[in-house]
Amino acid sequence: MSLPASNSPVWGRLASGGLSRIQTSHLGTQMLIKRLELSKDPPATKATEIYSYFQKWERSLANEVAQLARL
Amino acid sequence: MKSPSSLVCDGTPVNGLMPVDTVADMIRAGARLSLAGRKAALDALPHGDWIGGTSPYFMTESGGRVISDKEVFVTDLAAIGDVSIGTYSAHELACISGEAPDQGFALAVIPAGSHCHTEFAQNAAAYPMAFMRPTIGWIAGYDLAEPGAQAFVYDGRAGKALSDAVAVAHVTFTDDTDALLEIVNIFGPDGGDVIHFEEAGFTPEWCQVNGQRKRFCDYVVERGREGGDLPLVGDFGGAKVNASLKSIDTAKGLVELYAPVFPGVDYAFAGPVGDYAQAFRRALATRATDDALWSCNCILNFLFGKLEGVAIGGAAGPVTFGEIAYQLLNQTMVLVRKA
């Protein structure tokens, strides 16, 4: 599965709580999930950060990318 | 372990203990190195392209060791990628990941007990590029048998011991790979109380235990955990991140930790681990470590697990007063490899 485009609503859903439902054993992703959960940034800012993160690490996050469609 | 000369000549990346004289020759020949050893050994090395930190404790292929000032632990960074070296003060720590390569990692060494140590521990996860450009590394320590000893890091270009700065090697991969940071934590929550803290810090005074507010010191005593061998285990998005107990003063009601706790994180005391070496061997058996580029493990595992002279598998590396994988960790093995 390819990465959804930056304007996909999936990023907003992840920023509004969906990220915590991703099953992952990738250390950086786990720690980012907690960082964003604790962050007071607005959802739009979080959504941009999540998209940038997945774009950067897409090759290492095949299992996580495959989960995006159902979140 | 192979002899130093064979390690250099057969193409195997150097990651092991070597005589000080051999390391000095490598530096003079232009090698770009990450080093660890006693202060006297690091002070004796020539200026060059290296970073370093103090520790006499190491895990090697044949087991844990406490070394003399005749040896230094060497990792040949040039065998991993292109290397640039720098130092950062406490107000520049966000630049460690900010100036790291897009493909590769920052290897950071921080002196234990320094202002940099505290700043990094409390803020690392919030640095803007923290999860885009990963930082690994370790907290430099000292021989616990030497009263008054202090931790130092080194920027080999100046050859100077630094007590409150971060020595960093930015390593850029040249083969279109990414850095994969992994941890091996042999501890897990004991399945009992869930603990929350009200404020971030190394000395939490109050906590909520299953929703009931208690003085943290009283709770530690209530649980009989004053010995400090079992850390708090925090749930960071599924990653188990430890905060270990450094000291407890029941008269003053103070508990000091080796890493800060944070509000909004579920913590629990770790369940007991009987045989540390066996627990590491079991955990490492489920993952590839032959291609690990660099590794470190915690002094508390070394001491409480009685790992001197005991092999546990995984990659060799310094035994540290704190481990870094994106943020500060305790009682954890850290590995980095290419993916």
What DSSP string describes B97-114?
Answer: HHTS-SSEEEEEEEETTS
- pLDDT in single tens digits along all 339 residues of chain B: 333 333 444 556 799 999 999 999 999 999 999 999 999 999 999 999 999 999 999 999 999 999 999 999 999 999 999 999 999 999 999 999 999 999 999 999 999 999 999 999 999 999 999 999 999 999 999 999 999 999 999 999 999 999 999 999 999 999 999 999 999 999 999 999 999 999 999 999 999 999 999 999 999 999 999 999 999 999 999 999 999 999 999 999 999 999 999 999 999 999 999 999 999 999 999 888 889 999 999 999 999 999 999 999 888 999 999 999 999 999 999 999 999
Boundary (domain end) residue, out of B241, B269, B297: B269
Q: Among residues A39, A28, A62, which one has the least CA distance to residue B129?
A: A28
Q: Do A59 and B178 touch (CB under 8 A)?
A: yes
Domains of chain B: total? 2
CA dihedral A38, A42, A43, A44 (to 10 degrees): -140
Q: Among residues A62, A25, A57, A14, which one has the least CA distance to residue B183?
A: A25
B249 plus B168 within the same structural domain: no
Prediction pTM value: 0.95
Q: How is residue A46 written in tokens?
A: 């979080």
Helix, strand, or coil here: B245? Answer: strand
Q: Do B239 and A52 touch (CB under 8 A)?
A: no
Q: Cα–chain-centroid distance for residue B121? A: 12
Burial of A39 (0-12, 13-18, 19+ CB in 10 A): middle
Whether B188 is in a domain gets the answer: no
B238 plus B117 within the same structural domain: no
Q: Do A38 and B262 touch (CB under 8 A)?
A: yes
Q: Among residues B112, B187, B108, which one has the least CA distance to residue B144?
A: B112
| Most B-contacting residue of A27, A45, A59, A67 (CB-CB within 10 A), to test interface | A27
ipTM of the complex: 0.96
Nearest-CA distance A35 → chain B (Å): 7
B104 plus B131 within the same structural domain: yes
Whether A22 is in a domain gets the answer: yes
B157 plus B249 within the same structural domain: no
Whether A1 is in a domain gets the answer: no
Whether the CB of B180 is below 8 Å from some CB of chain A: the reply is yes
Number of helices and strands in chain A (H, E): 4, 0
Boundary (domain end) residue, out of B251, B269, B287: B269
Whether B190 is in a domain gets the answer: no
B284-298 burial string, b = 16+ CB within 10 Å, else e?
Answer: beeeebeebbbbbbb
Whether the CB of A57 is below 8 Å from some CB of chain B: the reply is yes
A19-28 burial string, b = 16+ CB within 10 Å, else e?
Answer: beebebebbb
What is the domain extent for residue B258? 195-269
Looking at chain A, which residue has its C-alpha nearest residue B263? A38
| Most B-contacting residue of A19, A29, A34 (CB-CB within 10 A), to test interface | A34
Looking at chain B, which residue has its C-alpha nearest residue A35? B125
